[in-house]
């Protein structure tokens, strides 16, 4: 009989996060809520005055930052308490109240951006001379005014805004279809029992030691998708149509350019990533050859790729052992870094164990006026230790960002968000690799790392290439039929898997199950993040002059510059191939290491 989940009250206090630095008690939160609820209404006082003078702009910016900080202090206390126990009625209520207040503020403040767009950036530049304190907001204002040439007149923007719900219909229909309506039927598992095949357990079947189970799951799931190819081709094409039309209306040359604009990323970064990976597919082919050899199969099929090269590592770590391991592994990042890491444990930034009602998964969450808290559901596996290192990477990035920037530049972008977390994961794995004498554990860690390269660089870049090329076809006026979408995806798989893998015909329907194709050119960021992390780790571990100092400059930069410029602080130029090639070389060396010890 399964062990029942503990109640929140049964978890030892030392394993729960301490949220008292935000508010000592719920009563203090409610007092603040009452005060801030009145204060948000004052934003209306600035209507019509924001760009009337330098002083008017400064007063508005100072007010908006002050009110935001108060709102987010309220939000994080409610959100973290709610996620720790979603069954707690008190925190359900608090979470709902602050979300309503945030929505109210957004509604009241909706005049600000259109009002600012009524003047040119030259006027704002003149304001810097009139009021020197505005210089503190220069980069923030520059980011707002970059959009000016892509904003339509007020009437047109209102029409587009009214259509926003309609524009999200393709994705919503796709989600309803794939999350609820499509059923994949029953499948016989390793124990000879009939179980329902779902998207949730599909990956477990593909990892099965039983090849027949892998093959059946693969064919059954993708075969089911083939029956919906025309419907999903319509949602896919509809989504592309929305993005390409909006990009044209907003005066962008393509939907890709429109997507990259927010991060100020040049199109050549995206294309260079795809070209560099395409020119280095031999390493991926070598990996599949290794898998084929270890599995001992005469033909290596696509349904064989997820079967592990090594058994699961059953070694367990107490949370205290995990702390020691992570701190030791990250000690190469310097005494100041370790000191803050220890604060995270000693001051209880981390909510460690699962309890009834606790949100699943793991995350780092916090802002300028709170600690960067971490939610875990720790079970003691090496994977959990790795998750701890990963989330600490996010929290340390947040800590450095907040301590070294004014509020308006303390929040780093999603584009660079995974770099620090992945640096920590890599440092942990390389540390353990060098310090364990257990050959099976070494093989397990190398296998995990190799899987990361395959899935985070190669697979995501294949998706990025597919997305780019399908949008380009649409922009040329071609119809994205199910046949076009399926045939192109099949050919792309042949390219990425190479001559020694049997590219099963049913893979042509896999594009139907990838929700990321509705995320507007998001996936390339995963590959960039891992490549940058590899480059940083390589430089730090090899003792390259200035590598650690440069990495700290990056961590401290927060949101004070565009991502490409922030990465340059750590010695990375993502417009060039060097960083991506360096990551692929690391992948290659891991393959060679595995061969030696296997």
597 class by beta-carbon count within 10 Å (0-12 exposed, 13-18 middle, 19+ buried): exposed
CA dist 78 and 377 (Å) reads 19
Is residue 102 in some structural domain? Answer: yes
Q: Where does residue 377 fall: left (phi above 0), alpha (psi -120 to 50 degrees), or beta otherwise?
A: beta
Per-residue pLDDT band for 432 (boundaries 50, 70, 90) equals very high
pLDDT at 47: 96
Reading the block at residue 328, the tokens are: 């030791």
**Each residue of 493-509: pLDDT tens digit?**
999 999 999 999 999 99
Cα atoms found within 13 Å of the Cα of residue 202, Cβ hemisphere only:
15
CA dist 497 and 461 (Å) reads 13
Is residue 358 in some structural domain? Answer: no
Per-residue pLDDT band for 17 (boundaries 50, 70, 90) equals very high
User: CB–CB of 218/184 below 8 Å?
Assistant: no
Is residue 74 in some structural domain? Answer: yes
Average pLDDT over the chain, rounded to whole? 96
State how beta strands 186-188 and 194-196 pair: antiparallel
pLDDT at 165: 84
Is residue 25 in some structural domain? Answer: yes
By residue range, what is the domain housing residue 24?
8-164
The H-assigned helical ranges of 436-481 are 439-452, 460-475
Strand boundaries in 247-397, DSSP class E: 300-301, 350-351, 363-365, 373-375
Per-residue pLDDT band for 3 (boundaries 50, 70, 90) equals low
Is residue 66 in some structural domain? Answer: yes
CATH number at residue 141: 1.20.140.70
Question: What percentage of the chain exceeds 70 in pLDDT?
Answer: 99
pLDDT over 60 at 586, yes or no? yes
pLDDT over 60 at 1, yes or no? no
Per-residue pLDDT band for 245 (boundaries 50, 70, 90) equals very high
- Counted domains in the chain: 1
pLDDT over 60 at 2, yes or no? no
For tokens 């949370």, the residue is 319
**Each residue of 535-544: pLDDT tens digit?**
999 999 999 9
- Residue 136 falls in the annotated catalytic set: no
pLDDT at 106: 94
**Each residue of 49-104: pLDDT tens digit?**
999 999 999 999 999 999 999 999 999 999 999 999 999 999 999 999 999 999 99
Interval 428-446 mean pLDDT: 96
514 class by beta-carbon count within 10 Å (0-12 exposed, 13-18 middle, 19+ buried): middle
Is residue 337 in some structural domain? Answer: no
Which DSSP helix (H) or strand (E) runs through 195? Answer: strand 194-196
pLDDT over 50 at 131, yes or no? yes
User: Using CA of residue 561, residue 563, residue 567, residue 568, what is the dihedral sign?
Assistant: negative
Reading the block at residue 150, the tokens are: 């892509």
Per-residue pLDDT band for 207 (boundaries 50, 70, 90) equals very high
pTM of the predicted protein model: 0.95
**C-alpha distance from residue 485 to each of 223, 463, 467, 509 (Å):** 16, 12, 10, 9
Catalytic one of 142, 149, 312, 391: 391
Is residue 440 in some structural domain? Answer: no
Strand boundaries in 70-168, DSSP class E: none
For tokens 């049913």, the residue is 506
Is residue 376 in some structural domain? Answer: no
Cα 318 from chain centroid (whole Å): 28
281 class by beta-carbon count within 10 Å (0-12 exposed, 13-18 middle, 19+ buried): middle
């Amino acid at each position: 009989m399964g062990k029942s989940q503990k109640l929140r009250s049964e978890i030892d206090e030392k394993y729960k996060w301490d949220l008292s630095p935000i508010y000592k008690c719920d009563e203090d939160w409610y007092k603040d809520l009452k005060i801030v609820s009145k204060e948000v209404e004052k934003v209306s006082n600035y209507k019509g005055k924001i760009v009337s003078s330098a002083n008017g702009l400064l007063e508005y910016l100072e007010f908006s930052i002050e009110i935001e900080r108060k709102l987010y202090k309220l939000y994080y206390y409610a959100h973290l308490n709610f996620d720790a126990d979603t069954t707690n009625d008190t925190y359900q209520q608090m979470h709902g109240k602050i979300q309503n207040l945030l929505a109210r503020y957004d509604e009241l403040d909706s005049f600000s951006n259109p009002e600012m767009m009524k003047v040119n950036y030259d006027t704002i530049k003149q304001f810097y001379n009139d009021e020197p304190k505005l210089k503190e907001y220069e980069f923030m204002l520059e980011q707002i005014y970059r959009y000016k040439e892509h904003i339509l007149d007020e009437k047109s923007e209102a029409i587009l805004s009214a259509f926003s719900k309609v524009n999200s219909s393709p994705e919503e229909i796709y989600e309803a279809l794939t999350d609820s309506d499509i059923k994949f039927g029953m499948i016989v598992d390793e124990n000879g029992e009939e179980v329902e095949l779902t998207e949730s357990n599909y990956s477990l079947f593909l990892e099965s030691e039983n090849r027949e189970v892998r093959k059946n799951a693969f064919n059954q799931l993708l075969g089911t998708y083939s029956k919906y190819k025309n419907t999903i081709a319509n949602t896919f094409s509809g989504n592309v149509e929305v993005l390409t039309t909006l990009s044209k209306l907003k005066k962008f040359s393509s939907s890709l350019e429109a997507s990259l604009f927010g991060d100020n990323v040049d199109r050549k970064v995206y294309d260079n990533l795809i070209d560099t990976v395409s020119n280095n597919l031999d390493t991926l082919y070598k990996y599949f050859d290794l898998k084929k050899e270890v599995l001992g199969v005469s033909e290596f099929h696509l349904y064989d790729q997820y079967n592990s090269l090594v058994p699961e590592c059953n070694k367990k770590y107490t949370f205290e052992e995990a702390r020691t391991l992570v701190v030791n592994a990250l000690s190469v990042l310097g005494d100041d870094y370790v000191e803050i890491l220890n604060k995270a444990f000693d001051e209880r930034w981390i909510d460690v164990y699962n309890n009834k009602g606790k949100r699943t998964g793991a995350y780092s969450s916090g802002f300028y006026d709170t600690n960067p808290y971490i939610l875990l559901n720790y079970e003691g596996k090496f994977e959990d230790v790795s998750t701890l290192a990963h989330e600490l990477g996010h929290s340390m990035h947040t800590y450095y960002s907040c301590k070294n920037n004014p509020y308006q530049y303390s929040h780093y972008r999603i584009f660079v968000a995974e770099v620090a977390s992945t640096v920590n994961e890599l440092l942990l794995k390389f540390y353990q690799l060098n310090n364990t004498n257990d050959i099976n554990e070494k093989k397990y860690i190398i296998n995990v790392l190799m899987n990361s390269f395959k899935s985070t660089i190669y697979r995501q870049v294949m998706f990025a290439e597919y997305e780019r090329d399908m949008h380009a076809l649409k922009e040329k006026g071609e119809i994205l039929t199910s046949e076009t979408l399926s045939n192109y995806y099949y050919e792309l798989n042949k390219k990425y898997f190479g001559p020694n893998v049997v590219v099963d015909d049913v893979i042509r329907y896999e594009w139907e199950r990838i929700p990321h194709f509705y995320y507007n050119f998001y996936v390339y960021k995963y590959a960039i993040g891992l490549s940058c992390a590899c480059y940083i780790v390589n430089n730090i571990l090899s003792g390259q002059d200035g590598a650690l100092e440069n990495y700290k400059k990056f961590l401290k930069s927060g949101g004070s510059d565009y991502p490409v410029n922030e990465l340059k602080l750590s010695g990375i130029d993502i417009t060039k191939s060097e960083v991506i090639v360096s990551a692929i070389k690391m992948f290659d060396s891991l393959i060679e290491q595995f061969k030696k010890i296997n």
